[in-house]
């Protein structure tokens, strides 16, 4: 669908009106009125583009596009979200320091091949690769190390979507990873390798894993997107992750387990993409399908 056509169809005056709403409606009129406004304007938007609709799209794409036009959040303003995230980055709970490979606990360097792998044979291994090509910058090829995930399938990356007062929100996490730029990045509801889901580390299972694993047997869950997503092939060998977007019934109780989790509007996520590496690639990749 051509979004430029949608803009022309919808009318610039209406778009400017939507953008002017922002969070001031939540502050001035309250959540209920914001909810009524959302439903009214969404219906108007869908009527205005009816001639451009077709079956070759995700069924939730039109509403998702509408969501990005203004901030309909019933929880936080965009400034409040930014303040929350900046505090997370300023006070990380994780700290990572470089260490020699030979000194890593629980990781083994094979004496004959030099390959590196975990003592449980879970997670991933590092091995060498000889590349032949005639199409890249170095046409004679090259050698490089590469990371191979166990069974090639990395894990689950999934987002829970839920309506509050009829307005869609997305449960995200300020997640720490040792190699993250800034240590903390805004991530999906779940981002876990299958090794972690199997608890190969001996710790707890990831939060919300059950709702994703049992998504097809839960009448309170609607699957909006469910497919394999590719990883960076320059660093990972044939790796892919299962990307999932679920919408849960508005009456289903979803309680954020820690203050690292936050309900964001789609508008807010899109705006945060304009910051310096705040949004991680898994969240960005899943929401590209709405």
Q: What is the pLDDT of residues 117-131, one digit of tens each?
A: 999 999 999 999 999
Q: Which residues contact 278 (CB under 8 A, 6 or more apart)?
A: 85, 182, 185, 186, 272
Per-residue H/E/C for 46-74: HHHCHHHCCCCCCCCHHHHHHHCCCCCCC
The reported pLDDT for the residue numbered 33 is 87
Going by C-alpha positions, the residue among 241, 131, 261, 162 that lies closest to residue 196 is 241
Alpha carbon distance 183, 200 (integer Å): 23
CA distances from 212 to 119, 160, 195, 222, 245 (A): 28, 9, 16, 11, 9
Distance CA(282)–CA(187), nearest Å, equals 7
Q: What is the pLDDT of residues 163-188, one digit of tens each?
A: 999 999 999 999 999 999 999 999 99
Which domains does the chain show, CATH number per domain? 3-67 (no CATH), 78-94+155-287 (3.90.79.40), 103-149 (no CATH)
Phi, psi of 152 (to 5 degrees): 70, -20
Segment 73-104, tens digit of pLDDT: 999 999 999 999 999 999 999 999 999 999 99
Q: How far apart are CA 37 and CA 17, in angstroms?
A: 12
What 3-state DSSP class applies to 86? helix
């Amino acid at each position: 669908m051509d979004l430029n056509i949608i803009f022309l169809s919808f009318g610039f005056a209406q778009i400017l009106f939507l953008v002017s709403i922002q969070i001031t409606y939540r502050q001035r009129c309250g959540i209920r009125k914001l909810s009524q406004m959302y439903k009214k304007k969404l219906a108007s938007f869908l009527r205005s583009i009816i001639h451009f609709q077709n079956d070759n799209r995700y069924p939730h794409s039109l509403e998702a596009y509408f969501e990005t036009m203004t901030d309909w959040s019933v929880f936080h303003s965009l400034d409040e979200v930014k303040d929350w995230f900046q505090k997370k980055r300023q006070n990380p709970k994780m700290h990572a320091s470089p260490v020699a490979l030979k000194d890593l606990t629980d990781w083994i360097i094979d004496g004959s091949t030099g390959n590196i792998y975990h003592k449980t044979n879970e997670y991933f291994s590092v091995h060498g690769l000889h590349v032949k090509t005639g199409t890249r910058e170095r046409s004679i090829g090259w050698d490089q190390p590469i990371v191979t995930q166990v069974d090639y399938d990395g894990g689950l990356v999934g987002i829970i979507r839920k309506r509050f007062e009829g307005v869609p929100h997305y449960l995200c996490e300020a997640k720490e990873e040792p190699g993250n730029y800034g240590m903390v990045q805004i991530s999906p509801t779940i981002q876990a390798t299958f090794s972690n889901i199997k608890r190969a580390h001996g710790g707890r299972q990831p939060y919300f894993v059950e709702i994703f694993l049992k998504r097809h047997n839960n009448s309170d869950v609607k699957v909006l997107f469910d497919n394999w997503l590719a990883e960076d092939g320059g660093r990972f060998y044939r790796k892919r992750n299962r990307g999932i977007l679920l919408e849960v019934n508005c009456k289903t109780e979803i309680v954020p387990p820690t203050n690292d989790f936050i309900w964001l509007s789609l508008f807010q996520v899109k705006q945060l993409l304009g910051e310096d590496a705040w949004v991680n690639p898994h969240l960005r990749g899943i929401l590209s399908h709405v």
